[in-house]
Amino acid sequence: MKIPVEEATEKKKAVQTKNNKKRKRKKLTPKQIEKLKRKKRRKKIQQIVELVGLFILLMGCLWFLMTIRSHTVNGPSMSPTFETGDKLLTNKNKNVTRYDIVTFFHPDTNESYLKRVVGMPGDKYYIIGTKMYLFAELDESVDIQKLYYSSELRDSTQIFELDTAAAKKLKSMTQIPKNEYFLLGDNRSNSQDSRALGFIEADSIEGVVTLRYYPLNRFGVVH
């Protein structure tokens, strides 16, 4: 049986094309080979960079979820610093320092409150009646009773009017205990704080306020 001339010609062309492709592949120059290798290396590096970037993004999200909390201001106790409706971010891993603004859980209701740190662990104080005299960063050797009765109170001395129950509770001590804080609202005339609640334990503090993100016209870092 004879194969038609046209069909034979097509098959011959196909074979020649295939052979030509093979020859072309075999005839890559060293420069072309090096170029292909570089291309493969770049692609591999790009894949590694993308994986590392994804890992960093996931770790960042995990850190944010575990460390940062949102708090919405409710009430006038921190006015004029914050107003009702302000939205804040708190960092639970930030060390608490004097005059930081923190959120904490109310010891009785477990509601989240917002106050400023005024008294630190180790601060000395003295109570006369319901008045509290707080001596911040006072030297350990100073006798606070003699200091009070000498009528030469330091300029840094802060005086607060306590609730009767709180005054009675705190009168038995002369120093803020370890891991406890004296917290006050900036709006002193309208704030339920350590003047009524007493010292707040470190375990009750949710985090230090670091940023106000709403409203946008008051967006900024909180100091």
Q: Say what the pTM is.
A: 0.72
Q: Which architecture, in CATH terms, is 69-221?
A: Ribbon (2.10)
Measured CA to CA, the distance from residue 135 to residue 175 in angstroms comes to 9
Q: Looking at the predicted structure, is the pLDDT value of residue 142 above 70?
A: no
Q: What is the pLDDT of residues 94-112, one digit of tens each?
A: 999 999 999 999 878 888 9
106 contacts 124 by C-beta, under 8 angstroms:
no
The reply to whether 12 belongs to the active site is no
Q: What is the pLDDT of residues 146-196, one digit of tens each?
A: 655 555 666 678 999 999 999 999 988 889 999 999 999 999 999 999 999
For residue 54, give the 3-state DSSP assignment. Answer: helix
Q: What is the pLDDT of residues 42-52, one digit of tens each?
A: 999 999 999 99
The reply to whether 77 belongs to the active site is yes
Q: What does the domain layout of the chain look like in residue ranges?
A: 5-65, 69-221
* Lowest mean pLDDT, pick from 25-29, 59-63, 117-121, 212-216: 25-29
Strand blocks (E) in the chain: 68-72, 87-91, 101-105, 112-119, 124-128, 131-135, 158-161, 180-184, 200-201, 205-214, 220-221
Q: What is the pLDDT of residues 70-93, one digit of tens each?
A: 999 999 999 999 999 999 999 999
Q: Looking at the predicted structure, is the pLDDT value of residue 5 above 60?
A: no
| Region 28-52 average pLDDT | 87
Closest CA to 98 of 184, 163, 190, 177: 184
Say which of 37, 77, 124, 204 is annotated catalytic.
Answer: 77
Q: Establish how many alpha carbons lie within 13 A of residue 72's alpha carbon, considering only the half-sphere containing its beta carbon.
A: 2
Measured CA to CA, the distance from residue 70 to residue 89 in angstroms comes to 5
DSSP classification of residue 2: P
Percent of the chain surpassing pLDDT 90: 59
Please provide the distance, in angstroms rounded to a whole number, between the alpha carbons at the two ends of the chain: 97
Say which of 27, 31, 115, 156 is annotated catalytic.
Answer: 115
